[in-house]
Amino acid sequence: MLDKREFYIDGRWMGPAAPRDCEVIDPATEEPCAVISLGDQRDTDAAVIAATAAFPGWAALEPAKRAEYCAAILDQYRARKDEMAEAIRAEMGAPIKLARESQAPCLSWHLKNFLDAMDQIDWSRPLGDHAPNDRIVLEPIGVVGLITPWNWPMNQVTLKVIPALLAGCTVVLKPSEEAPLSSMLFAEFVHDAGVPAGVFNLVNGDGAGVGAQLSSHPDVSMISFTGSTRAGIAISKAAADTLKRVTLELGGKGANVIFADAGPKAVKQGVLHCMQNSGQSCNAPTRMLVEESIYDQTVAEAAEIAQGIKVGPTAEDGRHIGPVVNKSQWDKIQGMIERGIAEGARLVAGGPGLPEGVNRGYYVRPTVFADVRNDMDIAQQEIFGPVLSIIPFKDEADAVRIANDTPYGLTNYVQSEDGAKRNRMALALKSGMVEMNGTSRAAGSPFGGMKMSGRAREGGVWGIEEFLEVKAISGWSTD
């Protein structure tokens, strides 16, 4: 078991004055895999003070120099990527193949894309030909607090830390206390890359402690948060008194609309996407909307695919799903499965309880409900587990109505060979992202939602601009 009772503040690893220990549980074994300390107000204040002191020098660097430091972080990752994958496997239960091939590489993917995006940012430009003496200047917002979740830890850390640093901000990162090990390894990458002291700081803690302290801190200019809608609302309220900028990337309840003319792989791709990462993705297509003419055959196919998904140990190589992150999450998912049964949905795969042959670990059976009404709890609430709800629809208008009938608006999906119909659907669906026919968003595309999914735009130029202020200057000398 690792002892990681340290914080990274002002370029140094240090222990808190009065540590409050917290065990990190390996969800595959239900045993502790590490011990960390949770910070208190003194630790938060120390990190903010260090970031405040470092801000003028970091902001004054040429953008190209800040990019060099971030490229050096990428070099550190490349040298230690297997360590990163193992940390993610242990802390949040990603099977090692998923950790190596999808979870850990989020760091290199996003970091390279942000470096490319830097070339597209015009830090100082004329307003236009009509106003030659008006200048638009982009400046870093200041000290930013970054609060990240456990489900895709390096994805969210990279989507926040790297654009903040490139923008010229200094940061205080509070990773999830459920999955802090990957973030602490990331802090080692930052340190070994030579990033100046105070530019990046990490304080472990929970939402009620360090999270709330950062959200209300008068010297923090911005909070960027990814997590539950409930927590996003609390952060917004805590930040209101200091009028700091708040960007939120929250939950989702994505609809995957499958028309009768969808391709032959549409159902399989939809089921597997829903179950990936044990269903612990905010953009998972957890509602499968199916045109009535192919409904029965789709239900049968989806059930067969889910029944064939293997559930297995995280240390074992292969394509299978692992556990969910902790006992609380397991209990919540079990309660929602039981709720679906009580609401009258037809259980066609999986169900409550542990998978067959499993007696340890927070594993969930890949579960599929058919004959779901969109007003059922399992169709409206984010379950965050490997649970799929299948809902029939009559026609295009009915599909749009059902898909949009949710408080969330993160990602929707459309499957059809009719290009004009796909385009109509994409414009009608109320979500920040729409993916069609299995085509993923390209590098530099922004990630974010609408409605109760928050309105952050992470990735590419948009991700960097979230950390910038726009200054309008008139009377600029062109001599």
Active site amino acids: 249, 282
> Which residue blocks in 208-360 are alpha helix, DSSP H?
212-216, 229-240, 266-275, 295-307, 327-343
Residue type, 176: S
Neighbours of 131 (CB within 10 A): 12
Q: Is the distance from CB of 288 to CB of 256 less than 8 angstroms? A: yes
Q: What is the dihedral of CA 355, 356, 362, 363, to 10 degrees?
A: -40
Task: Give me Rg for the CA atoms of the chain.
Answer: 23
- Tokens coding 9: 């503040």
SS3 content of the chain, % helix, strand, coil (to 5): 40, 25, 35
DSSP state of 368: E
Q: Is the distance from CB of 209 to CB of 416 less than 8 angstroms? A: no
Burial of 20 (0-12, 13-18, 19+ CB in 10 A): middle
Alpha carbon 140 to its chain centroid, in Å, reads 23
For residues 328 and 401, what is the distance between their CA atoms, to the nearest angstrom? Answer: 33
Phi then psi for residue 166, to 5 deg, are -65, -35
